[in-house]
Structure 1
Amino acid sequence: MTDQTQFTAPRGASWWRRNQIAITPWLFLAPGVLFFVVYVLLPVFQSFNISLYDWDGLGTAEYVGMQNYEELYYDDAFYTSLRNNVLWLLLYLLAIPAGLAIALFLNQTVTGIRLYKSLFFFPFVISQVVVGLVFSWFYDPTFGLLNVMLGWFGMGPINVLGDEKYVTYGIIAAGLWPQTAYCMILYLTGLNAVDPEQIEAGRLDNAKGLRMLWHIILPQLRPATFIAFVVTIIGALRSFDLISIMTNGGPFGESRVLSFYMFEVALSEYGFRMGYGAAIAVVLFLIMLCFIAYFLWSMYREERGH
C-alpha cells in the first residue's frame, strides 16, 4: 500500500496558500507563453493584416484588400519559388533514411567509432553560412573538387550554381549535409532507448537484418522519426540562408524559394513592397500550418490509440 501525501492549507490561510500547488506550474509557463504570444502569434496576425495593404514600410499604408493575393496568382516568380519549395520538400526527406543508416552504423562496436561519430557530427555544429561557402567552392567550375573528380572520368566541367537546370539540386545537396547529421543525432538518441529484450526475442525468432529493423527497431524509433519529419519539413520550407549565400536567388531567379522571394520583394530590389511580401509570408505560413496540423493530429491519434 502506497502512502499518498496531499497538501492541505490550514484554516484561515491566504488565497495563495490554498491554491499555490495549482498555480505554480502556470507561473513557470507564463514567461514562455508570453514570449510565444508576443514574438510568434502577434507577428502572424500582423502579417495577415499587412498583406491587405500596399505599404513600403515607412509611408502611409493604402488598403488594397485581396489585390496582393490576386497579383500572386499571376506571378511567374511566385510559381518558380513554389515549385522549388516542393523540390526542397521531396528531396530534403532523404535526410531521414540517410540519418537512420548512419546512426545504425555508428551504433555498432567497431574500431575508431568515436572518430566516425565526430566526423558525422561535424556538419551539425557548423554554421549554414560555412556550409554554403564550402559547397560554393566544391561546385566552382574552375577549381572545385566536383569538377576535378569529373575530370578523372573524362567529363567536362559543370557550373552547378550557374546552370538553372542544376542549381536547385546543388543547393539542396548542400542542405542535406547538415540535415542528415541532425537526423542521425535524433536516431542515435532513439537507439539508446531501444529495448534490448525485444532485440533478443527477435533473434530467438530468427529475425535478422531488414526483418529485425522493420519489425522491432523501427517501431521503437517512432518518436525520433516523428521529430525528424517535423524538423526536416520545416527546414525545407524555411530554407533561406543557403540560397542567399550560394546564389542570391540566381541564375535568373531559378533558385528562389518562397522565403527568399518574400525577402526580395519586401526588403530588396523590388521597392520595399511590404504588403506583397506579407502575402507571400501568409502563403508560406499556411503551407507550413497544414503540415504541422497533420503531424499534431497524427500524434494525438497515436496517443489516443495507446
Structure 2
Amino acid sequence: MSIAISDTHSRRTWWRENQQKLTPYIFLIPGVLFFLVYVIIPIFESFWLSGYDWDGLGAKTWIGLDNYRELFDDEAFYTSLKNNVLWLVLYMLAVPAGLGIAIFLNQKVRGIRAYKSLFFFPFVISQVVVGLIFAWFYAPNFGLFYNLIEWATGSGIAILADPNLVTYGIIAAGLWPQIAYCMILYLTGLNAVDPEQIEAARLDGAKGFRMLWYVILPQLRPATFMAVVVTVIGALRSFDLVSIMTDGGPFGSSRVLSFYMFEQALSEYGYRMGYGAAIAVILFLIMMVFISGFIWKMVDDERKGL
C-alpha cells in the first residue's frame, strides 16, 4: 500500500515539475492532429490520386503521368493559368491600397470610428454576397456601372459578357474585400509601431515618404508578410467569385485553376477525379513556390537584422 502511495506521489511531483514545459505541447496536439488530417494527408492523397483515371465511384486505373501529359496539352488549362497569373499580379494592389487606407484611418480625429466601420464592412461579408453585389453592379441595362459607362460614352459595356474584360471585372470584385483584409493587418501593425522612433525621426527632419519608407515600413514587416501571403493565397484560390459571377464563362474565358479543378473533378462536365487532382497538384506547387520565397526572404532579413 505504501509503495502505491509513493508511486502516485512521485507522478504528481513529476507533473508539477514539468507542467510548464508540457502545457504548450498539450495545447498544440489537437491543432497538429487537425492540420495533419485535414491538410497534410489530403496533399499527399492528391499527389497519389493524380496518377489514376477515376470517376470517383468505380475502380481506379493507374495511368502514371498521363494526366499531366494531357494537362500540358489542354488549352483550357493554359487559359486558367494565364488568368491566375493575372489575378496574382493585380491582386497585389490590395497590399499598398490596404496600407494607404490604414495610414489614413490611423488618426485620432472625430468620427474616424465611423470611417473604420465603413472600410471594415467588405471584410465581414461573404464572398458569395460580394459576387452577387458586383454581378448586379455590372449587369446590362440596370447595373450602376453599366449605366455610368453608358451615360459617359453613349454605350454601356457588359463586363461579364466580354471575354477580354470579364477577368478584370471579377478581380475588381475580389479586391474590394481583400483591400479591407490588408487594411486590418496594417492597422494592427501600426498600433505596434514604436512612437519613440517616430518622434526621433521627426527631430531629424524626416517626414512624408521618407518617414514612411525608413521608419514605419521596417516596423511593419510582419504585417506586410502576412498581407502578401494571404493575398497570394486569395488570388490562387479565387474559386467562389468566378463560380458565382460567371461560372467560368463566357466560353471558359474567366476560368482559374481552382475552378477548372472543380469543373473537371466534381461537376457534370467531368467527374475526372485524377485529372482534377493533377490540376490541384499544379496549383499547390505554384502556391508553394510563392510562399516559400516569401518565407525565405523573411528569415533571411531576420538573420541580417533588417
TM-score by length of 1: 0.93
1:132 aligned partner, one-letter code: G
Aligned to 1:234: 233
Report matched runs for 1:285-296 at 5 Å. Answer: 285-296=284-295
CA distance in structure 2 between the aligned counterparts of 1:154 and 1:48, rounded to whole angstroms: 51
Distance of aligned partners of 1:13 and 1:40 in 2 relative to their CA distance in 1, 3 Å threshold: same
Find out whether 1:13 has 2:7 as its counterpart.
Answer: no
1:276 aligned partner, one-letter code: Y
State whether residues 150 and 157 of structure 2, in contact with CA within 8 Å, keep that contact through their aligned partners in structure 1.
Answer: no
Aligned to 2:92: 93
CA distance in structure 2 between the aligned counterparts of 1:224 and 1:28, rounded to whole angstroms: 25
Aligned to 1:303: 302
Find out whether 1:281 has 2:287 as its counterpart.
Answer: no
CA distance in structure 2 between the aligned counterparts of 1:27 and 1:264, rounded to whole angstroms: 41
Find out whether 1:247 has 2:246 as its counterpart.
Answer: yes
CA distance in structure 1 between the aligned counterparts of 2:191 and 2:254, rounded to whole angstroms: 39
Describe the superposition over 1:192-246 as per-residue Cα deviations: whole angstroms up to 9, x where unpaired: 1111111111111121111111111111111110100000001100110000000
Identity of aligned residues (%): 70
CA distance in structure 2 between the aligned counterparts of 1:181 and 1:145, rounded to whole angstroms: 22
2:261 aligned partner, one-letter code: M
Of residues 265-274 and 231-240 in structure 1, the stretch that sits farther from structure 2 once superposed is: 265-274
Aligned to 1:138: 137
Aligned to 2:118: 119
Aligned to 1:76: 75
CA distance in structure 2 between the aligned counterparts of 1:159 and 1:151, rounded to whole angstroms: 10
CA distance in structure 2 between the aligned counterparts of 1:271 and 1:264, rounded to whole angstroms: 6
Where does the alignment leave 5 or more consecutive residues of structure 1 unmatched? Answer: 1-9
Cα offset, 1:300, TM superposition: 2.1
Aligned to 1:258: 257
CA distance in structure 1 between the aligned counterparts of 2:197 and 2:20, rounded to whole angstroms: 40
2:210 aligned partner, one-letter code: R
2:45 aligned partner, one-letter code: Q
Distance of aligned partners of 1:296 and 1:204 in 2 relative to their CA distance in 1, 3 Å threshold: same
2:84 aligned partner, one-letter code: N
Aligned to 2:62: 63
Aligned to 2:4: none
1:275 aligned partner, one-letter code: G
CA distance in structure 2 between the aligned counterparts of 1:114 and 1:20, rounded to whole angstroms: 43
Cα offset, 1:23, TM superposition: 3.1
Cα offset, 1:135, TM superposition: 0.3
Cα offset, 1:21, TM superposition: 4.2
Report matched runs for 1:25-36 at 5 Å. Answer: 25-36=24-35
1:246 aligned partner, one-letter code: M
Aligned to 1:168: 167
Distance of aligned partners of 1:180 and 1:229 in 2 relative to their CA distance in 1, 3 Å threshold: same
1:56 aligned partner, one-letter code: D
CA distance in structure 2 between the aligned counterparts of 1:154 and 1:277, rounded to whole angstroms: 43
CA distance in structure 2 between the aligned counterparts of 1:276 and 1:149, rounded to whole angstroms: 43
CA distance in structure 1 between the aligned counterparts of 2:117 and 2:144, rounded to whole angstroms: 23
Q: Secondary structure in 2 aligned to 1:260?
A: helix
State whether residues 263 and 270 of structure 2, in contact with CA within 8 Å, keep that contact through their aligned partners in structure 1.
Answer: no
CA distance in structure 1 between the aligned counterparts of 2:215 and 2:154, rounded to whole angstroms: 45
Q: Secondary structure in 1 aligned to 2:226?
A: helix
2:10 aligned partner, one-letter code: A
CA distance in structure 2 between the aligned counterparts of 1:245 and 1:154, rounded to whole angstroms: 29
Q: Secondary structure in 2 aligned to 1:57?
A: coil
1:305 aligned partner, one-letter code: K
Find out whether 1:213 has 2:217 as its counterpart.
Answer: no
Q: Secondary structure in 2 aligned to 1:13?
A: helix
1:99 aligned partner, one-letter code: G
Aligned to 2:48: 49
Q: Secondary structure in 1 aligned to 2:179?
A: helix
Count of residue pairs brought into register by the alignment: 296
TM-score by length of 2: 0.93
Describe the superposition over 1:147-186 as per-residue Cα deviations: whole angstroms up to 9, x where unpaired: 2212332331100000000000000000000000000111
Describe the superposition over 1:241-264 as per-residue Cα deviations: whole angstroms up to 9, x where unpaired: 000000000000000000000000
Where does the alignment leave 5 or more consecutive residues of structure 2 unmatched? Answer: 1-6
Of residues 261-270 and 12-21 in structure 1, the stretch that sits farther from structure 2 once superposed is: 12-21
Aligned to 1:3: none
Describe the superposition over 1:40-66 as per-residue Cα deviations: whole angstroms up to 9, x where unpaired: 111111111110000000000000000
Cα offset, 1:305, TM superposition: 2.5
2:220 aligned partner, one-letter code: L
Cα offset, 1:108, TM superposition: 2.0
State whether residues 150 and 156 of structure 2, in contact with CA within 8 Å, keep that contact through their aligned partners in structure 1.
Answer: yes
Aligned to 1:4: none
